[in-house]
Structure 1
């Protein structure tokens, strides 16, 4: 059984991104900087949504995008340079019109420890005006089909 198979994911079947913490990802305390975690959340979000067919080309064609309106991050343990991590994500909600949500879990497979739990919410916006806009049919179909429910949320076990 691989280390990934031993991970206790908060929800089933996450979309995952493997990360190796680089020296330049660390801060003065010697662990991954909080700004780097936000970058990783964005990286896995784009990779996931594009894998579902919500590509940048579709964004441009519809003139719409899902903009982050809120992100909450619980830092449960630190990551250090050289650590190999697996970042999992799930779409956890879509209201059928404007808003969607996403959950994240960052795990270090070497010890199975969850280092970070996070949630983000998004609102559909018109790319030209940057104002809220109803999600196009193409987004709604993808977001509705991919959304899962529940999970452990931000509270530690």
Structure 2
């Protein structure tokens, strides 16, 4: 099932030409992933207190269009746990019906000391892990 997250492009998101600065697409998709975690009922503050965090370990990104000041965008995300530690997200930023940015993001569940650890049960259950 795809998750949708809305983003409005503000002045702070743009460069001098009024076009969304390339790094801000990463911010948009990060917010969408955070919303998914929250909707699944996973409390990242409680995880961190227990010494567990999510860390992005890989991003493949394609910039195929652009957005401008005032545009209303939709981040469309599908996701799947892969193994006991990794969580893979396929994300698109859409302007209307046109994809302007797409990324495949791999996150790992890690201890705060940097060691891999199992994904929370709610996430593992999504993929039968």
TM-score relative to the length of structure 1: 0.73
Aligned-residue CA RMSD (Å): 1.7
- Deviation (angstroms), 1:91: 1.4
CA distance in 2, matches of 1:87, 1:133: 28
Pair 1:146-2:126 in alignment: yes
Q: Which residue of 2 aligns with 1:152?
A: none
Q: Which residue of 1 aligns with 2:30?
A: 42
Q: Which residue of 1 aligns with 2:103?
A: 118
Selected match of 1:86 from 74, 88, 93: 74
The 5-angstrom pairing of residues 5-154 of structure 1 reads 13-96=1-84, 98-109=85-96, 112-127=97-112, 129=113, 131-135=114-118, 139=120, 141-147=121-127
CA distance in 1, matches of 2:16, 2:125: 43
What 5-or-longer segments of structure 1 have no aligned partner? 1-12, 148-157
**DSSP-derived class of the 1:57 partner:** helix
Call closer, same or farther: CA 1:60–1:93 in 2, change over 3 Å.
Answer: closer
Deviations 1:29-68 (A, max 9, x none): 4311112111111111111111101112331353211210
Normalized per residue, the structure richer in strand is: 2
**DSSP-derived class of the 1:101 partner:** strand
CA distance in 2, matches of 1:19, 1:81: 11
Contact 1:93 1:101 in 2 (8 A): yes
